[in-house]
Chains A and B, each alone.
Chain A
C-alpha cells in the first residue's frame, strides 16, 4: 500500500466514523460539529483524489457556510431544549433491515461497476483547468444555477419578511 493509499483509508475512516457519530447524537450542536469534521474529511479526500478546488470549496461552502447556518438556527431557537421522540426498537427494525438491504445493493453495485478494480491514478485538476472546462462546456448550466441562486435569495427574503408582518400578509393574501 502506498502512502496515498494509506491516507485514503485513514480519511475514509474519519469520514465514516464522524458521520456515524453525527447521525446518532441527540445534541444537535454535537451533530453539527461531527458533520463539520466529516466534511473536512471529505475535503481532504477530494484533495487526495485530485480536486483541490473542490476540496477548498467543500470547506468554504459546506463547513464554512451551510453548517454555520445550521448552527446559527440551532443556537437561535435553542433546539437542544426540545426532546426528540425516539421510536421503539420494533418500529426501527424494518427500517434497519431495509437499510442493510440498501447498503448491500449499493456495495454490490460498487463492485460491479466497470473498471472498479483498477487503482486510481494520481492526477490533479488545477483550478484553471476546471474553470476552463466548466465555463467552456457548461456555461448555460452556470447561468441556470446563478438564476437558481437568485431565486433562492428572493424566496428566503420573502420568507423572512413573512415572519416580520405575518398578520398583514395573511390579510392581503
Chain B
C-alpha cells in the first residue's frame, strides 16, 4: 500500500499549477517552455498514478508517447527560440511585437 490515489492526483495538480505559473508569469521564452515541460510532467505523474490505480498499462503507454512528443517539442521549440533570439536580441515574449 503506497498512498491514496487522490494524493497522487493532488501532487500532479500542484506541480501543474506551478508549471502554469511559470509559463504565464515568467517573462522569458525559455522559462515559458520550461513551464510547459513542468505541466507535461505533472500530466505524466497523474497518468502513471491512474495506471497503477486501475491496473492497466494504458496510462504508462501514454506517458511513453508523451515523453517522445515532449522531446520533439523541445528540440523544435529551442531551435525556434534561438533563431528568434538572434533576430530580436531578447527573450522577452513581448519583444516580438513587430511583424516582419
- From residue A75, how far is it (CB to closest CB) to chain B in Å? 12
- Contact partners of B48 in chain A: CB under 8 A: 45-46, 49, 51, 54
By the criterion CB–CB under 8 Å, are A156 and B79 in contact?
yes
By the criterion CB–CB under 8 Å, are A51 and B63 in contact?
yes
Q: Which of B2, B55, B60, B91 contacts A79 (CB 8 A)?
A: B91
By the criterion CB–CB under 8 Å, are B20 and A42 in contact?
no
Q: How far is the CA of A38 from the CA of B1 in the complex (A)?
A: 24
- Contact partners of B6 in chain A: CB under 8 A: 110-111, 113, 116-117
By the criterion CB–CB under 8 Å, are A54 and B64 in contact?
yes
- Given A70-B30, A99-B21, A119-B3, the answer on whether A163 and B69 have CB atoms closer than 8 Å is no
Interface of B with A (CB < 8 Å)?
Answer: 1-22, 24-28, 30-31, 33-35, 37-38, 41, 44-45, 48-49, 51-55, 57, 60-61, 63-65, 67-76, 78-83, 85-86, 90-92
- Contact partners of A152 in chain B: CB under 8 A: 72-73, 75-76
State the main secondary structure of chain B at its contact with A.
Answer: helix
- Contact partners of B9 in chain A: CB under 8 A: 109-110, 113, 116
- Contact partners of B81 in chain A: CB under 8 A: 73
- Contact partners of B55 in chain A: CB under 8 A: 121, 123
- Contact partners of A53 in chain B: CB under 8 A: 60
Interface of A with B (CB < 8 Å)?
Answer: 2, 4-5, 8-9, 12, 15-16, 19-20, 22-23, 28, 31, 35, 38-39, 42, 45-46, 48-51, 53-54, 57-58, 61-62, 65-66, 69-70, 73-74, 76-77, 79, 82, 84-87, 92, 95, 99, 102-103, 106-107, 109-111, 113, 115-123, 125, 129-130, 133-134, 137-138, 141, 145, 148-149, 151-153, 155-156, 159-160, 162-163
